[in-house]
Structure 1
C-alpha cells in the first residue's frame, strides 16, 4: 500500500470495516483539520474527538506507517482512518484541479503567453513583489529563514531569530512516552528544517545554531533516558556538520567548548548516543595536545576496557608513539580481538613469528571471537600444508560459542559473524579444507575423526548429517549417524513438550529420511513445528491437525487482541482446508465456523479480521 496509489478499498482493508466507517463519520463531520503534506511526503493532521489528537502518516518501504496520540490500543485507530480518507479526498481534488487548469497559449514565437507565472511576476511593481514575498513567509518558517540568510546573513537579528526558533521547538516529556509519538517526529522535522537552511549561512552562524540544536536534543534524551530514532537522526545531522564546522583554527575556542560538552554527556551516557559522541570526539582530536588530552580522558574512563584500549592505541599511532601503542595493545591481553590487534601491530613491524605466536595464543586462550585470527592461522596452515594444524584450528573453532553450528541454525547476528568463514556459507573453512582433502585421499578414518569432532558436545546440522551420509561408507556411516540420533534423543529426553534446536534438527532428519510416523510423534505437541510440516503430514493425519489447529484458534481468541484475532483467522483458513480437502466434510466446516462466530458474537475485532479473509 502506497500513498500515491491509495484507494478506499485499501484503507478499508488496512483499518477494518468498523474503523473505516468511524473514520468516514469523522471526515464527513469535518473533524479532520490542518491536513498538511511536507516536502518529504509525510502527512499530518489534527482530528477532533474526545480531545484533539495529532495524526501522522508516512510511507515505509512498500507500506504505510501511521501514529496517533489517542489512547486507543488497537492499530490503526479511527483517527488514522479519517486522515487517510482526508488525504485521499485531498489528492483527488488536486488531480481534478490540474486537469481543469487551462493550457497556456503559445505565442507566435512559440514561447509561453503573458498568462504564465513568470510573465505575470515581471509585470508586478516592486511594492507588489515585496508584498507577495512577505505574504509567502506567513506560516512558512523555511521560506522566512532562507530570506533572512540570503539578505541579512551577518545580522545578529538573523542569528537571534534562528536560535529562538530552536528554543521554541516543543520538547515535553509527556508527549514522548510513546516511541512512535507524532509529536516526537514533528519536533525532529522542525530541527531538521532549521539545520537544512544553514548550508549557505556564515560559518559562525552555522556553528552556533547547530550546537544549539544538539544542546536541545541531547540533554532531553539524557534526562529521560529516551531512545528515539527521529530525534537521534536530527542530533546526528547537527553533530556531523558541527564537527566539520569547528575543524579550522579560528574555531579553536568553540571546539574546546564542544569537546568538553561531548565528554560530559558521554560520561552521563543515559541517551543511547555514546558511540556517536565518541566518534565525534575522536574526529575533533587533531592537535598533539588534543590527542594526549583525549588519551588521558579515555584512560581515566577505563583502560581495562578492550574497546578503550583499542582507541588509545589508535591515538598513540596517530602521534607516532610506537612504544606507547605497543604498551596499550599488550595491556590486559584477554580477548581474541585484543590478540588480533597486537598481531596486526607485529605484522606491520615485520615480526611474522611474533604475529603467529600471538594468534595461536589468542585462539587457544583468548575470550570472545575473531575471524581474523582464524583466517591468519588458516592461511599459515595452507602455506605449510599442515593438516594437523587445520585439525587443531577446527577444534579451537568449535570451542567458540556457537562455533561450528550450521549457518542456518545461527541467529541473524551470528550469521553475519560467520558469513565470511565459509566459501559455501555452510561450514567453517577448516572443515571444508579437511573434508575435501580427506575425501580426495579416500581417508575414511580421517573423515570419521573429522565428524566425531561434532559429537561431544553435539554441533550437528542437517547439512552435516547429509554430508556424513554422502561421504562415509558403511559400516562407518551407520555407526556415526546412529550416534547423532542417539545424542539428539538424549538431549530431548522424556519431555515431549517445547521446541528446542535438538527437536527441530531431529525433525529435519526424520523429514529428510521420510520417517513420517516418527516425525509426527516428535512434533505433535509442538504447534509451531506441527504447522511447519503441515504440507507433508496433514494429508496423512488430518484429524491430528484438525484438533491441534482448533485448540490453537480457541487459545488465540481467548487471548484477545487484534493480532491474536488476525492469527486465528489465518488458522481458520487452514482448518477449512482440513475439513474440505483432506476429510471431505464441507458441511461440518460450515457448522464449526457458524458456531465459532455465534460463541464470539460480541468480539467485533474478531469478526472484522474474519471478514478480511472472507470467512
Structure 2
C-alpha cells in the first residue's frame, strides 16, 4: 500500500472516519521509534496503539492496531496514515527549501570576485526561480513611504496565506507556520524602519500586518497561537515606536497619534478586545495637546461603551481602561485628581491594591487596615477567594510593619495550612527553637488528616515530609495514594523496604486487572520497572510470572511483559 494512494486503497467509509478522527485531534502521539517504524496512539472508545512500518517514504509494508476491528484497515490506522503522509510531505518540502551546504566554498569570497553585472544577473535569476528571494529583494528596496508600498506588503502576506490554504481558503493547523511567513517578512521591514527612526512607516507597516493576521485568524486553526503571536509582535512593534525617548519632538508625532486612534477602532478587533489595549496605550504615550487628550478620552469612552454592550465584556477590559484613564488624569490634572479618581474605583481590585500600597508607604496604618477589611468583606460576599487572599496578605504585611507578632503567627499559620511554603518558613522564624517542634507537629497533623487536600496543601505536606525525612507519615501517605509510590519509594526503602515491595505488588496487580489496551499495559510494565529499581528484582520476577499465568490471552500485555528487564 502506498501513502500516495490511500484514497484508492482504503475503503471510503473507513478513510472518511479516519480523516474525522485526525481533524478532531484524536491522535495522541505519533513518533518514529526506529528508521521506518512509527508508533502512535489514537483516542477512540479506548486508547488504541498503532504500529506502521514503511519501506520507503511512500510504501507501507505493515500496519497493526489493538482495537477489536477485524477488517484490513481500521479508522485508527487510517487516521495515522493520513497524518503520517502529511508530516512526511511537509518534511520533504522543508528539505527541498533548505540550501545545500557549500562544501569547500567560501561564499563571501566567491561573491566578492563577481562583477556588479554578474551579481545582478545572479540575484535576478534567484528571484525568478525562488519566490521567497523575490519577496525579500522587493522588501529590501521598497520605499516604505510610497503609495504602492502597502499594496506590496499585502500581496506578500496574502501570497503566503494562499499558498498554504486549502480549496476553501482555510489554513489547517499544520499549514499555519507557512501561512504567516509573508507576514513575518513584512514585520521585518517594519523593524528596519523602526531602527532607522522612521516611526510612522514602522507603525503603518505593523498595522498592515495586524489587519491581515486578524483576517487570517477567522480562517485558520490557530491552536498553537502562531497567528496570535504575529499579532502580538506587530503590537509590540507599535508600542516600541510610541515609546521612543525623543517621540515628543518627532515631526510626524501627530499623524502617528491619529493613526493609532483610528486603528483602535478596527472592526476586525471585535471579539479580541485585549488587542485594542496596546493601541490605546501607545496612543496615550503620544498625547501632547488638550485636543489630543480630549480625542483620546472620547475614543476610550466610545470603546468602553462598545465593549459594555458585548456579552463577553470583562473586568480585564474595564480595569485596564480605568488604569489608562488614571494615568492620563495624573499626567494632565495632577496627583490629587488622580487620587480622587482612584478612590471612586475602589471596587476594582487594581485600584484598591494601589490605595493600600500608598497607605502602607505613608505609614497610614488605620487607613490601610480599613481598605484591607473592606476588600476582605466585599470579596468574601462576592465569592472571590483569590482576592480575599490578596487582601489578607496585605494584612500580614501590615502586621509585619507594625511588629504585631501574635497576629503574624496566626495569619502565617493559616496561609501555611492552605499550602503556602513561604509562610511556613516565615512561621519558623517567628518561634524560638524550643517552641517550634510543637507548632511543626500541629501543622503536619492538620495537613495529614484524611481529607480532600487541595493540590497546594498536598504539595506542601509532601515537601515537608521529604525535607524532614518523616518516613512514617510518608508511608501512610503512599498507602492512601499508591499512584505516588514510584515517586516516593526512594525515601522509604531504607526503613520500610518490605512495605514498599508489598505496596508495589498490590498496586501492580490492581492496575493489571483494570488494564485493557497496550497503553495501559505499558504503564503497568513501567511500574514493574520501578519495582526493579527499588531493589525488588525478585518481587518483580514473581509478579511477572503471576501476570503471565493470569492473563494468557492478552497478547499485547504478554508482549510488553517480555520487554521488562528484571535485573
Same fold (TM over 0.5): yes
User: 1:118 and 2:115 equivalent?
Assistant: no
**Cα contact 2:190–2:202 (8 A) shared by 1:** yes
CA contact 2:482–2:503 (8 Å) conserved in 1? no
Q: Is the 8 A contact 2:37 2:54 kept in 1?
A: no
> What pairs up with 1:62-101 in 2 under 5 angstroms?
71-72=79-80, 77=84, 80=87, 98=103, 101=104
CA distance in 2, matches of 1:592, 1:81: 43
RMSD: 5.2
SS in structure 1 at match of 2:80: coil
Q: Which residue of 1 aligns with 2:406?
A: 391
Deviations 1:50-80 (A, max 9, x none): 9xxxxxxxxxxxxxxxxxxx94399x94764
Answer yes or no: is 1:161 the counterpart of 2:152.
yes
**How much has 1:135 moved relative to structure 2?**
1.0
- TM-superposed CA distance for 1:168, in Å, is 3.4
Q: Which runs of 5+ in 2 are unaligned?
A: 1-30, 41-50, 61-72, 309-313, 377-386
Match of 1:404 in 2: 416
Change (3 A) 1:361 1:249: farther
**Aligned mates of 1:103, 1:306 — CA distance in 2:** 58
- Is this contact kept in 2: 1:266–1:274, CA < 8 A? no
In structure 2, relative to structure 1, the CA distance for the partners of 1:103 and 1:27 (3 Å cut) is same
Q: Which has the higher relative contact order, 1 or 2, with Cα contacts under 8 A spaced 6 or more apart?
A: 2
Alignment-derived partner of residue 175 in structure 2: 183
Residue 143 of structure 1: which of 123, 133, 158 is its match?
133
Task: Tell whether 2:523 aligns with 1:567.
Answer: yes
Instruction: Output one character per residue of 1:489-511: Cα deviation in whole Å (capped at 9) or x when no partner.
Output: 6x526x9xx99777777777777
CA contact (8 A) 2:356 2:371 kept: no
1:191-210 matches, cutoff 5 A? 191-200=183-192, 206-210=202-206
Superposed counterparts of 1:148-547, under 5 Å = 148-149=138-139, 151=141, 153=143, 156-170=147-161, 181-200=173-192, 206-221=202-217, 228-243=224-239, 248=250, 250=252, 252-253=254-255, 255-263=257-265, 268-270=270-272, 273=275, 276-277=278-279, 279-283=281-285, 285=287, 287-295=289-297, 298=300, 300=304, 305-334=318-347, 337-343=350-356, 352=362, 355-367=364-376, 368=387, 369=390, 373=394, 377=398, 380-381=401-402, 386=403, 389-393=404-408, 395=410, 403-405=415-417, 409-410=419-420, 426-428=424-426, 431=427, 434-435=430-431, 439=432, 447=435, 468-469=436-437, 477=438, 487=446, 491-492=449-450, 516=472, 520=475, 522-535=477-490, 536=492, 539-541=497-499, 542-547=501-506
CA positional deviation for 1:147 = 3.3
Shift in alpha-carbon separation, 1:219–1:338, aligned structure 2, 3 A? same
1:24-39 equivalences under 5 Å are 24-27=54-57
TM-aligned CA distance change 1:338 to 1:175, over 3 Å:
same
Return closer, same or farther for 1:505/1:163 CA change in 2, 3 Å cut-off.
Answer: closer
Instruction: List alignment gaps of at least 5 residues for structure 1.
Output: 1-10, 31-49, 51-69, 105-110, 448-467, 470-476
2:43 equivalent in structure 1? none
8 Å CA contact 1:262, 1:281 repeated in 2:
no
Whole-angstrom CA distance in 2 between matches of 1:150 and 1:232 = 26
2:536 aligned partner: 582
* 2:126–2:133 CA contact under 8 A, matched in 1: yes
Alpha-carbon distance in 2 for matches of 1:142, 1:18: 33
> CA–CA distance in 2 between the matches of 1:186 and 1:288?
46
2:516 pairs with 1:558: yes
Q: How many residues align?
A: 469
The answer to whether the 8 A contact 1:19-1:81 is kept is: no
Contact 1:142 1:193 in 2 (8 A): no
Q: Distance in 2 between matches of 1:284 and 1:222?
A: 32
User: What per-residue deviation string (whole Å, max 9, x for no partner) do you get for residues 144-182 of structure 1?
Assistant: 34433555526544543222222334276989797xx22
Q: Distance in 2 between matches of 1:571 and 1:551?
A: 12
* Corresponding residue number in structure 2 for 1:134: 124
- Describe the shift of the 1:356–1:256 C-alpha distance in structure 2 as closer, same or farther (beyond 3 A): same
Q: What is the Cα deviation at residue 482 of structure 1?
A: 7.0
CA gap of 1:155–1:232, structure 2 versus 1, over 3 A, is same
Q: Distance in 1 between matches of 2:256 and 2:279?
A: 16
Query: In structure 2, what is the equivalent of residue 549 of structure 1?
Result: 508
Cα distance in 2 for residues equivalent to 1:163 and 1:90: 23
**Cα offset for 1:575?**
4.5
- Secondary structure at the residue paired with 2:226? helix
Work out whether residues 175 and 184 of structure 1, in 8 Å CA contact, stay in contact via their aligned partners in 2: no
Q: Quick one: distance in 1 between partners of 2:141 and 2:190?
A: 14
Shift of the alpha carbon at 1:195? 1.7
- Per-residue deviation at 1:330? 0.6
Q: Distance in 1 between matches of 2:184 and 2:282?
A: 19
TM-score (norm 2): 0.63
Q: Is the 8 A contact 2:537 2:566 kept in 1?
A: no
- Give the CA deviation at 1:573: 1.2
